[in-house]
A = this chain, B = another copy of it.
């Protein structure tokens, strides 16, 4: 008999200078993987180093979370960079994250694109390809974390890269297993208890639930936990507890300390 296991990931280190976004310290006690901002949409070398150190103390797996160079917009604007430019600006940020995580003795094991950049990898295969090419060029052992069943994971697998399929506990899914766009009805699951139970059902069934109630089978290797908003930490804890109480093991998709230095 095999124990079901899933990773919980959350964005981290998304402050800048004196500014903070989210309670990273509390979240690091809940999640098993931390997506660390790399200084373009948020984060600075100080915050990056501290986040990697805090993650190390808690044996939390870490990854680079590159975004568009848009501190003003927190990486949420769909900036009109070309795929070639994206390739290089992702490579730059992944390298910076490698350096500061090595610095903290906790090297990154994965890359997950942030905000508008991440969202664009779904409809734009050329942008998904740009992200994957950057990962492959900088360090082909890094794991690509992205939407389960989505464009980037397919591209990454075609390139021979390792992948990790992500779902969201608090987002609605279409009949095709894609995220309902924000702004549409049913895009968000606002009730923490509902999100937690939904996460449990999805992990157990190996399928996401569409807004019409249909089960859409998809690999589920990590669940994204939102770190911002006043209820973020409480919701994260509830999701974790609900899963653990049901016998699901919460574990990083790579063993901590397994990355090459």
Which chain B residue shows the least CB distance to A46? Answer: B88
With an 8 A cutoff between CB atoms, is A48 at the interface?
yes
A18-B74, A19-B21, A80-B80 are contacts. A92–B100 as well, Cβ < 8 Å? yes
With an 8 A cutoff between CB atoms, is A154 at the interface?
no
Residues of B within 8 A of A103 (CB): 87-88, 91, 134, 137-138
Query: For the side of the interface on A, what is the size category?
Result: 35 or more
Residues of B within 8 A of A127 (CB): none
CA distance A39 to B103 in the complex (A): 20
CA distance A17 to B17 in the complex (A): 13
A102 touches B137 (CB 8 A): yes
A17-B71, A45-B89 are contacts. A80–B81 as well, Cβ < 8 Å? no
A98-B98, A99-B96, A99-B98 are contacts. A45–B91 as well, Cβ < 8 Å? yes
With an 8 A cutoff between CB atoms, is A69 at the interface?
yes
CA distance A100 to B88 in the complex (A): 7
A91 touches B100 (CB 8 A): yes
With an 8 A cutoff between CB atoms, is A77 at the interface?
yes
Which chain B residue shows the least CB distance to A17? Answer: B72
A80-B78, A103-B137 are contacts. A92–B48 as well, Cβ < 8 Å? yes
CA distance A10 to B32 in the complex (A): 42
> A85 to chain B: closest CB distance in Å?
6
Residues of B within 8 A of A45 (CB): 85, 88-89, 91-92
CA distance A134 to B99 in the complex (A): 9
- Segment 46-91 of A: residues with Cβ below 8 Å from B: 46, 48-49, 69, 71-74, 77-81, 85, 87-89, 91
- Segment 85-130 of A: residues with Cβ below 8 Å from B: 85, 87-89, 91-100, 102-103
CA distance A79 to B81 in the complex (A): 9
Which chain B residue shows the least CB distance to A49? Answer: B88
- Cβ 8 A contact of A99, one of B44, B73, B95: B95
CA distance A73 to B77 in the complex (A): 16
Q: A16-B71, A88-B100, A103-B134 are in contact. List 17 more A-B contacts (CB 8 A).
A: A16-B72, A17-B71, A17-B72, A18-B74, A19-B19, A45-B91, A46-B88, A48-B92, A80-B80, A87-B103, A88-B103, A91-B99, A91-B100, A92-B96, A93-B96, A95-B95, A103-B138
- In the A-B complex, the 3 residue pairs with the closest CB atoms: A95-B99, A45-B88, A19-B19
